[in-house]
Every structure is written in structure tokens, then in C-alpha cells.
Chains A and B, each alone.
Chain A
Amino acid sequence: MRRRWLGLASLLVVVTVAAHFLLPGPLAVDYSAILAPPSLGHPLGTDQLGRDAAARLLAGARLTLGLTVATLLVTALFGTAVGMLSGYAGGPLGRVVPRIADMLAALPTILVGLFVAAALGPGLLSIVAAVCLVGWTPFARQAYHLTVRESARDYVGAARTLGAGPLRLLIRHITPNIAGPLLAHLFLRFAGTLLTVSGLSFLGLGVQPPAPEWGSMVAEGRAYLFGAPHLVLAPAAAVILTATLTTLVGRRLDPDRGSP
């Protein structure tokens, strides 16, 4: 089972590298091949400027996945730190932080994105700000619960009696024990983050065309749904594949649960 996934992943890498060398640039226009269907020269066809859809998809991968990973890491680090601190400290801090996280988590992310776009104007900055504003809450909640659970364990008490300070306790003793579920959670949150990043670009509030981003590529392609459905289907398939694969990895890694 595991070998099969490994095979699929390496196949993806090989295809990506090969495509990078074989395909025309993502911005190279070719007026002789406008809205061409998939062929050998253009494996995913071309768009309204004769640009190679496969090349754009790959360039979009860099932007879409880069943004997703970057915002995910930021929110994960911040959320985890907040969650662990409040979980360890307990008291009023331990009560207030999960409350705030709950409240923010109840807000629809796309709506927060809309609101942030209203404040900052549509653009890359809006996406990052919107995702960061809400994205840390699930990490904080999970880190909080895990830390509370671990703090009650014997080894923590033992370490404490041996004179370990709170910071040392958190970093040296608790973190290694909760890293597994946290890592799994990172993968499980990937799909959600990708959804927000690309969703905001789809709505025209994030990455702007002609920069290739999967969400805005779907939005652009909708105008050609009749004659050139590959322009929607290709980025759509890319989003589905990436999101499903990361969710799957997250589930494999998660020792506790089978659902996100």
C-alpha cells in the first residue's frame, strides 16, 4: 500500500521535472494555437492566448502551493505556540484563548477574506492576511488539548520535580510527544488552506491574472466552458489531486483519528 503511494508521488515528480524542460514557458503566447484541445505538443491544450495550459498549471503549482505552504506554516507555528502556552499555563489564559479560537473558527473563512479584501484591497496581501487571521485557530485548539493531556502525565511531573523550567518542559518534553498528531494536523489542514487561497483568487480578490494561480485559472477558464472545458478541468483536477493526497497523508500520519 505504502509503496504504491510512493510510486505515485515519484511519478508526479518525474512528470513535473520533464514537463518543465519539454513545455513552452507559461507566458509564451502562440496565436496559431488558440484554445487548442490537448495534443502531444500541448498535453493539456492551450488557453485563449495559445499559452500552454500544462505549463501554466505547473507555474500555478509553484504559486498556489507556495502560498498555501507558507501561510500554513505561519499559522501552524503561531497557533501551536499559542495553544501550547495556554494549555500549559491553564488559569484565565487557558480559558480565554480557546474561547477566542472558537469564536474566530465560527467565522466563514471566505467571508473573512472578503472583509480583509475590503480593508486591504484585493491582492496577495489580502489572502495571506485572511488565511492567517483565522487559520491559526484549529492548530491552537489542538495544541491546547494535547498539551493539557500531556501535562497531566507522570513524566512531566517527574521532569518538573527535577527542576525543569516551563519553557524547557514545553520544548524538550511535551513537544516531542505531541509532534505526531500536530504534523498529521498540518497535512489535514492543507486542503482547507488551499481552498481558501485559491477560492479568494477565484473570486478575484487574491492573485490577479495573468499570474497563473489555480483558482484564478478556473475563473478565467469558465468563460470557455463550451469550447475548451480542459481549461477548467485541468486546474480543477490539480486542486482535487493535491488536496486529496495531502488529506490522505494526514490521515495516515494521524494516530488518533480517521477523519479531519
Chain B
Amino acid sequence: MTLPARLRLAAACLLLTALTACSGGSPAATGDSLAVALQFPPRSAYAFDADDGALLMTLGVAETLTTVDENAQPAPGLATEWTPTSSPRTWRFTLRAGVTFHDGTPLTPDAVVTALTYISTVTAPPRAVRDIGFTVRADGADAVLISTKEPDPVLPLRMSSGNLGILAPSAYREGAAPAVTRTATGPYVLTEVNGADSATLSRNDAYWGPKAGAAKVTVRYVTDPQSRALALQSGDVQFAEGLPQASIAQVESAGASVQSYPAARTIELLMNQSAAPFDDVRVRRAVTAALDRPTLAAKVLGGAATPASDLFGSAVPWGATAAPPAADVATAKRLLAEAGKSALTVRLWTFPNRPEMPVLASAIQAMLGEAGIKVEVTVGDYAAHEPKILAGQFDMFLNSRSYLSDFADAASVLTSDYTCQGGYNIDHFCAPSFDKLIAGLSRTTDVGERQKVFAQAAKMLTEQAVGVMIVHPSNSAGSRGATGFVPDPLGVQPVLPKLRPAG
């Protein structure tokens, strides 16, 4: 009886320490501080040539020369105005006066030159400045001149890309990535970085614009959606983005307010037009008619997406907002019969990295089965299959694609994905009239005009049934103990500075 008593005691101690430790573990919102759970950790240690540039902007740490307004028009950022010069290849950006970096040094034309020269000369420059002969030089005490090889219609918009954040000259060191702590200009100072797990921000009291909402923010990167919901529900964080649809009701009943907003992304069913049967537009239209997109969005994805009627959705001003029609199986069957393809077996590829893709693939398989198209689904690693898919050795491919390219302009995606020579033209669509329309963009400076062309291009794609645009996924964010969240569908606005602790 006596012998295992000590062991029992030891076990009890172990459990007790564990349990007591957990009860004191959650950092509550104390006065003027916030804890937030973000979906995407820095991919490459906050490097500007990765998606991390956009992340630094979301955090409210780094800023760019321009930003965009709600109409996706360029708006003042670190530059207050920009004008074309006498040369059509050069723009002059006037810098905002009185801006200081977090290290105390002033924002000067030379600092901007250092920053932008760095990013345009790395091994793999971001798309915003790649292959356009981007150069920058100082002009007087408060301006820079930015030139490109060819006249660039969207240079002011380009400069809003998160990849082009400006850091203090001290951040740029030979042979190393720029140092991001205490070197930027934004409303928050990045004070501490803990790998891809967390980061600490503190308010920049010398900020040139409206001050940030909290004195201190603890940013946690939580990749597991379930855990983000749990963290919000338990009060570990006051703000969490990317909540799983299945948990939203639960989180709301715990007192959180949840907002859903469209992402600038389309899940598209691409069909290989370089071979039968999808070289026949009737077969492609049959597939379009057979798919019940409202059901896919509302039921299969549980409302975590809006049905797509077009390549562009409501995240952008030029996106289509009308809902697509429900399935029309009779029309689908008629079209297939006309094409002489009443009994058809095709293979559908997709990848599991985004968990909704295999689910959608199963649902699409069931819907096409109704119309007499037998679909074999293969789910496999994207990277392993990309070469085959780019080479046109596939029937159908379910892809998830962002339709903006680092700034609020669709020209680059339209070119790479749908022109004859496009580098990512998976479905091998090739129409001279479409190419001509897109080529015209290189001379269209007016942002409103460009947006009209984007909408027109999307309409052409829909008419030709170039892939079926299935859904536009939604993002969601919940706050509990914090207010002021403003959705940023374009991914180019600071998000965290607008949040403030409630009460």
C-alpha cells in the first residue's frame, strides 16, 4: 500500500503544475494592448520579394509611396502627389514632408532610392517591378523620378504594391535581407520578431497620420483555422482572421462579431482547349450549364464563398456581382448531344493544399455525373503535376487563383493566364481578339478606363466558356474585445492600426 504513494504524489504534482499553469496562461486585453491571430505567417522572414511585403503593410509597419482608395484608384501614401514628366517614360513622385523612420532618421529621396533600388535588383524581383526596366533617382530635396523602359500606364498604382515598402537606409545591408525591426514608417513599430510564430508591435507616436489603435499588439500566426477560432473564443486573442465556416456560429455565440468579405480570388475549373473534348465550345458550355454554382457556394462551401459569374468578383470595383444561373441539366445534355459527346469520361485534377479543393472536386464530379459526364477525380501535389498541366496533358484542372498581382490591376493576370503566349495559360485559350484587347491596356492610363477593359475581357472569357468560374472564396474575421475592423479585400491596406481595444 505504501509503495506507490510517492509515485502517486509525483503524478499528481505533474498534473497539478500543468493545470495551474494553463489557467494563468492567456494574456487578456489589458488596457491599451491587443492580441491578434493572423492566418498567414511570414513566408520568408519578412522579405519584401515574398508575400511578406503585403504582410508588413497589413500589420501597419511598412508603407509605400502610394496606396489605393475604395475605387482601386491610387491615393497618397509616402508620396503626396505624382505627375508625369516631359518624358512619357518618367514620373515624378513628391515625398510627404515630416516623415521619419522608426529609427529616427528622416524620409529623404535618397532613402527611397536605396529602398526601391534594392527591391528591383534582387534575384527574383516582385512582379510589380520585374521586366519593366525600373529605375529610380532623387530629384531635388523632396522628390524622386521613377522611369521605366516603356511608358507605363499604371506606375502610380504599381507603387502601392506591398513589395515596394520603404525602409530606412540603415535596414539595407550588403548580402543580407533588409532588417525590418524599427526601420519602417508606419503607425506601428515592429519591435520583436519571433520567427513565423509571433511578432510584437508598438504604437508609433511620431506617426504622420492617424495614430494606431493600441499601444501594443501581440501578433500570433496561427495556421490552423480551428485554433484561430478557439483562440478567439477563449479570449486568448481579441481579433482573428480566417475563421472556419463551421465555427462561426459558435464564435458568435461567445460574443464575437464576425464579418465576411470577398477575397480577390477565383476558384476556377479549367478545361484543356488544346485537345478533345474541350476544344469544342459546346462541351465547355455544357459543363458550365451542368454546374450549380449557387449550391456549390452555399452548400458545399457552407457560405464561405460567393458563386462566381465571372473571372472577377465583388472584391474589385469592376467585378461582376450578379449571381450565376443554377444548373440547367437539360441544356447541358442537349449541348453534349449536339457536340456528339453524350457519353464522356474526363479526368479532373486538383490539389489538397487548400482543403476546400478536394471537397469541391467531389461535388463537381457529382454534378457533372447528372449531365452524363463521368469524371475521375485525382487529387495530388500541385508541384508534381504542374509541368504536365502547363504542357496541356490534362482534361480538367480545378485551380484557385488570385486575380490581382500585388496591386489593384488585373492586366498581369489576364496576360499570363489567357493570352496566346501567356506563361500560365493552363487552358490553352488563344483568341487574337482577346490578345488585342489586352494589348491595348499598355496604352490605357486612366484607371477607370482600364477597369472597363478588365470587365470586357472577363465577359469575353465567359462567352467563350474559357473555364468555369466556380466561386469567389470569402475571407472572414472576428473580433471580441476589439473594434474598428475594416475589411481589405485588395490586400493593400493597413488593417491592424484601425483596430482598437474595446471598453
Interface residue ranges, A against B (CB under 8 Å): 27-29, 31, 34-35, 48-49, 51, 121-123, 204, 208-211, 220, 222-228
Contact across chains for B379 and A210 when beta carbons are under 8 A apart:
yes
Which chain B residues border A122 with CB–CB below 8 Å? 380-381, 384
Stretch at the interface among B73-81, B351-359, B414-422, B491-499: B351-359
User: Which parts of B355-395 form the interface with A (CB within 8 Å)?
Assistant: 355, 358-359, 361-363, 365-366, 377-381, 383-384
Partner of A210, one of B226, B244, B247, B362: B362
Query: Bound state CA distance, A49 and B384, in angstroms?
Result: 28
Interface assignment of B300: CB less than 8 Å from any CB of chain A: yes
Which chain A residues border B380 with CB–CB below 8 Å? 121-123, 208
Interface residue ranges, B against A (CB under 8 Å): 225-226, 229, 244, 246-247, 249-250, 295, 299-300, 302, 352, 355, 358-359, 361-363, 365-366, 377-381, 383-384
Q: How many A-B residue pairs have CB under 8 A?
A: 67
Contact across chains for B362 and A27 when beta carbons are under 8 A apart:
yes
Query: Bound state CA distance, A209 and B378, in angstroms?
Result: 9
Would you give the shortest CB distance from A204 to chain B, in whole angstroms?
6
Which chain B residues border A227 with CB–CB below 8 Å? 246-247, 249-250
Query: Bound state CA distance, A222 and B302, in angstroms?
Result: 16
Q: From known contacts A29-B366, A48-B300, A226-B229, infer whether A210 and B384 are also in contact, taking CB-CB under 8 Å.
A: no
Which chain A residues border B378 with CB–CB below 8 Å? 208
Contact across chains for A48 and B359 when beta carbons are under 8 A apart:
yes
Main SS class of interface, B: helix
Query: Bound state CA distance, A49 and B381, in angstroms?
Result: 23
Query: Bound state CA distance, A122 and B384, in angstroms?
Result: 9
Contact across chains for A48 and B302 when beta carbons are under 8 A apart:
yes
Query: Bound state CA distance, A210 and B379, in angstroms?
Result: 8
Q: From known contacts A34-B302, A49-B363, A224-B246, infer whether A209 and B381 are also in contact, taking CB-CB under 8 Å.
A: no
Which chain A residues border B226 with CB–CB below 8 Å? 222-223, 225-226
Interface hub of A28, A29, A35, A49 (most chain B Cβ within 10 A): A29
Which chain A residues border B244 with CB–CB below 8 Å? 223
Which chain B residues border A35 with CB–CB below 8 Å? 246
Which chain A residues border B384 with CB–CB below 8 Å? 121-122
Contact across chains for B295 and A31 when beta carbons are under 8 A apart:
yes
Would you give the shortest CB distance from B225 to chain A, in whole angstroms?
7
Interface hub of A49, A226, A227 (most chain B Cβ within 10 A): A226
Which chain A residues border B377 with CB–CB below 8 Å? 210
Would you give the shortest CB distance from A70 to chain B, in whole angstroms?
21
Contact across chains for A209 and B352 when beta carbons are under 8 A apart:
yes
Q: From known contacts A48-B302, A208-B379, A209-B358, infer whether A226 and B247 are also in contact, taking CB-CB under 8 Å.
A: yes
Would you give the shortest CB distance from B246 to chain A, in whole angstroms?
5
Contact across chains for A226 and B295 when beta carbons are under 8 A apart:
no
Would you give the shortest CB distance from B452 to chain A, in whole angstroms?
37
Identify 4 new A-B residue pairs, CB closer than 8 A, beyond the known A121-B383, A210-B379, A220-B355. A29-B363, A122-B380, A209-B352, A210-B377
Query: Bound state CA distance, A31 and B326, in angstroms?
Result: 14
Query: Bound state CA distance, A123 and B384, in angstroms?
Result: 10
